[in-house]
Structures are given as C-alpha cells and as structure tokens.
Amino acid sequence: MHATRLLLPALLLATSCAVDPYRDAERRITEHILRSHVEFLSCDALEGRGVGTRGDELARRYIQSHLAAAGCEPGAADGSWMQPVPIVGIQSTVSKALRATGPNGTSSFQAPIDYTAVAGNADAQAAWKDAELVFVGYGINAPEQQWDDYQDYDVRGKVLLVMNNDPATDPQRFAGKTRLYYGRWSYKYEEAARRGAAGVIVIHTNESAGYPFQVIQASHGRENFWLPFKEGQVTLGIRSWCSETAAYTLCRLGGHDLDALRARAELGNQPPVPLGVKVELAIENKVRQMQSANVLGVLPGTDPKLKDEYVVLTAHFDHLGIGKPRGDDAIYNGAVDNASGCAGLLALARAAAALPERRRSMLFLAVTAEESGLLGSKYYTENPTVDRKRLVANVNVDGLNVWGPTKDIEFVGYGKNTLSDTAAAIAAARGRVIEPDSHPDRGYFYRSDHFNFARIGVPAAYFKAGSEFLDQPQGRRRMKASYTTVHYHQPSDELAKWWNFAGAVDDMQVLFRLLAVTCNADAAPTWTPGDEFEKLR
C-alpha cells in the first residue's frame, strides 16, 4: 500500500470534522486577492513580462514584495529573494527563404505563413544548402518501446521532416493515447541533433499540437531564449515547423504522398525515406547575453526531523512580451498564462503562512522563461538551493479556472505518484472529484515547469480547470475551449470583467489542502511503481 494512502482516513476526518486545522487558513484565498494580482501582473504597464525586460523585473519585484508580506523568508542561496538566471537571447531573421526542389519541380515557401525558422544555437548564421530532405516518421528512438524510426540511417547533414506527437494506436506502446516526452517537439530536435542532422522540420497539425498554427507563427521572428550553451553541447543550426499544407507540397515535389508516409510510419520500425528533395534556407541571428531571475520565498518547517524537507509550489511569471500586432494590440499580456498562476501562488503563500502547523518547509518558486523552454525551472533543478533529495514534492500552477465553479478538477500527472491519492481524497471530502488529464495526447505533463522536477525524481503534478461546470455548463465549456483556439499566446489573453474567480478559489483551496497535508504527513509522496520517473528518485 502506498504510504500516502495510509493517511487518507485521518485526512478525511480532518476535512470533515468540526475542528478543521486548515479551514481558517484556506479562507484567506479569495476572489478579490486573485483578481487583484492578475490585474497588476497582466496590465499593459508590464508589457507582457518578456524575459529580461522592464516588465520582467517589475513582475519579480511585485512577487517578492507579496511573498514577504505573506510572511515568507528569502529563499535564494545567498539569502536574497532572487536566484539569477543567465539567459542567451537569439533573434533569427530569414535571409534566404525556404525553397525546395525535387523531380516534380520547385516550390518556394513564405515565413511564417508556411513555416517558421529559429536558431538552435548561438552561431551568427545558419543555413541549409541543397540539403537532402528525409522523412523519419515520428523521429523517435525508444528501445524500451521496441521502436526506432532511424534504423541506423545516417542523417548527418540532412534535414529531417518529422511528425509531431508519438504513436497512439497500440495501448501497449507509448502509453497509448497518453503522450510521453517522445512526442514533444523538443525531444525530436534533441534526438536529431544527437545524430548530426542539419535541421528538423516538424509537421504541425491542430490535432497533434493541441493548438492552431497561429501559435507557432507567433514565435517566428521573436527573440528566443536559452540557458548558456555548454561546451560540447550538440545543437541544430535551424529548428523549424511547417504547416500541414506545406508538408504535403514538400513530399509531392519528390513524388511522395504525405498520408501514405504517415500511415507507413504508424507500423513502427520503418526505415527513413529520402524524399528526393533538396532544401535551402538561411537565417541570421542576433545574439545577446542577458539575465533574469527566479523568485524564491520560504515558509520554514517546524518539525526538527522534517523541516529540512521542502514541498515546492511553482508558477511561471513570464509571458511573450511585445510582439506581432493583432489588430492594434501588440502586448501579449498573458493574463491566464500565467499571471493567474502567479496570483494562485501568492494567494497560497498567504494562506500557508496562517497554518497552525507546517512540519516540512514550503518553497514558493516563481520561475522565469517558461515560455522559452521551461528555462527557469530547468536552471533551478540544475542548481537547487537545497539538496535535491530534500525536495519531496512539486505542484505547479499554470493557469487558473476563470470560467466558473466545476465539480471536477483535472490533475495532470494523475496516477503517476501518490499526490493523486491525496488530492482525490481531499476533493471527495468536499463533494468534488479529481479527473485525469482530459487531453493525454497533448503531453501536458511535459509542457510546464513541474516536468523539470520530475526529471530529477521529485514527485510532481499540476492542476487544470475542470469541465463539469455547475452553472450554464454548455456555454462555459465553449468559453473555456475558445481560450485555446482564440486567446492562447495572443494579445487577447487579457483580464476581462466577465472573469469568474469563484472556480479558481474552489480549486486553489483544494490545492492548498494538498500542499498542507503533504507538508504535514509522516511520509513523503512516492512515484507509482514502474512509472517512468521512479528510477530517478
């Protein structure tokens, strides 16, 4: 039996009896508190909180001041509130547009309508010069899944055309429809770089990405951010996406049918297909060194034996800054993503400070550069302020429920560790239910900051808004769905008068109890036996 499950009878008693040790503290999480934080962090004055900008610093100072007001102590290694994070900024400009030539003719493509192109390293220039284009299916080599799309094919110097996502037809492989890290575009770039490819073009589809191509287009021409490159680190000169329409054209130029290639790839262990197409593309890169920081606040534990263990709550404060105008608006405010998550973090810190007991310490970590590849959390987990073995759990907040109260809460990572058991019991005691991720095919577990904690073995998960709305369910579900299709990573992600924070309060109160119970439990959370991250603990 999982250690956490032993706590559940006592947990249910604590949450239902007349004397509730957490009730008064959780009442400090209010709609007013959440709205006021979102209102400031997403206002135009912060200019979208782009990494290394004035808005970045203002957001950090705001978070620091409210963590201090809540009663936290500075949590950085030097005794300050900030953990400096060195950042390399790279802005790529296409100097020679993508052009492809095959036996069926030549086609030119326009960025960002048909494709995007960004640097994969800090070189001043990068180019594909009559590079051979090779279709490599999903671009995955996974020995434990008995799957290899490369089949010892030499891809050095070649450009790879790859499918997004990972295979989903066999429930015995790749967790069925639940996307693993193999399905993330970042893995595909990393694997191709390890094999010496010149570049990768990932084929976008709405189904495989979980968002429209306009989200990809919004990144083109922007400054992208990296942690400093390490000596000997393998990279790609150019990392690209293309629309599905462009992918059809690239394949037809060589006499191939994209649908037939994709169907063949689904069989698994098929050798790469040289398309008989040569591609050329060139970019020039403007590179600069800059600095942001993570903000850390700690509520010290009180138990002599457990106070050196830490329960970590994360939320990222960055967004996309000022970018391509949509109409007359060029500020990407990031109100849901993730001013609202920071509002949740600050409200939870305020509530946690009022707990009558905190056996373990709590670390409230507002991280930078999530939108640029989870860089702030990556830097923290590579340079933790405490022994990483003392980090016992991480819960992440990446967007709040602003559409209204729900019976359910989605738990990304449900079943992967014993945080699931605790969260389910807390929700049940309140007449609510924890549901697994409703879109496991989108790989949300690998797309936010908790992933970096999982990669060092820390049991991790995050909450997402549910869908079983208690009031006007059909209309509210439509509003929620429109966020991804219309507002996600667009200037229209702004605080609006119609936002309903009642659901956010309900969800954050459940999350607060999860943090409090984890903080005070005798046993720390554990990974489910056989989980992909269990061996890292």
What pLDDT does residue 6 have?
44
User: Which range among 119-128, 175-184, 262-271 shows the weakest confidence by mean pLDDT?
Assistant: 175-184
365: which strand partners?
Answer: 296, 314
E strand segments, 49-124: 73-74, 82-102, 105-108, 115-119
Torsion-angle region of residue 526: left (phi > 0), alpha (psi -120 to 50) or beta? beta
Instruction: Supply the pLDDT for residue 324.
Output: 87
pLDDT of residue 11: 53
What's the pTM value of the predicted model, to 2 decimals? 0.87
Nearest Cα to 101, choosing from 255, 329, 308? 255
Tokens of 234: 């393998």
Please say whether the dihedral angle defined by the alpha carbons of residues 169, 171, 174 and 177, taken in this order, is positive or negative: positive
| 131 has pLDDT over 90 | yes
Residue 39 has pLDDT above 70, yes or no: yes
CA distance 311 to 301: 10
Confidence class for position 4, pLDDT limits 50, 70, 90: very low
**pLDDT at site 457:** 97
Token pair, residue 453, equals: 């904690």
- Rounded to an integer, what distance in angstroms lies between the CA atom of residue 260 and that of residue 262? 5
Query: Cα–Cα distance between 449 and 60 in angstroms, integer?
Result: 17
Burial of 5 (0-12, 13-18, 19+ CB in 10 A): middle
| Cα dihedral 153, 158, 164, 165 in deg (nearest 10) | 30
- In one-letter notation, the amino acid at residue 75 is G
Write down the mean pLDDT value for the chain: 94
127 or 184: which carries more pLDDT confidence? 127
Give residue 175's pLDDT: 80
Dihedral of CA atoms 469, 472, 474, 478 in degrees, nearest 10, equals: -80
User: Is residue 82's pLDDT more than 60?
Assistant: yes
Q: How far apart are CA 454 and CA 144, in angstroms?
A: 19
To the nearest 10 degrees (0 to 180), the angle between helices 244-253 and 258-265 is 100
Average pLDDT of 504-529?
98
Give Cα separations from 301 to 44, 297, 351, 361, 418 (angstroms).
38, 13, 15, 4, 21
Helices (H) and strands (E) in the chain, counts: 15, 20
Amino acid in position 136 = V
The mean pLDDT value for 98-105 works out to 98
The two structure tokens encoding residue 264: 């063949």
User: Which tokens sit at 449?
Assistant: 């900051």
State mean pLDDT over 476-481.
91
Residues of the chain with pLDDT > 70, as a percent, come to 97
Residue 537: band (very low, low, confident or very high) from pLDDT cuts 50, 70, 90: confident
- Distance between CA atoms of 74 and 80, rounded to whole angstroms? 5
pLDDT above 90 covers a percentage of the chain that reads 85
Cβ–Cβ under 8 Å, residues 340 and 399: yes
Residue at 410: amino acid letter: E
Q: Tell me the residue type at 519.
A: C
- Domains annotated for the chain, with CATH where assigned, are 4-71+300-531 (3.40.630.10), 89-287 (3.50.30)
Residue 421 parent element (H or E): helix 419-429
Q: Is the pLDDT of residue 346 over 50?
A: yes
Name residue 362's beta-bridge partners: 299, 311
Element containing residue 379 per DSSP (H, E): helix 375-382
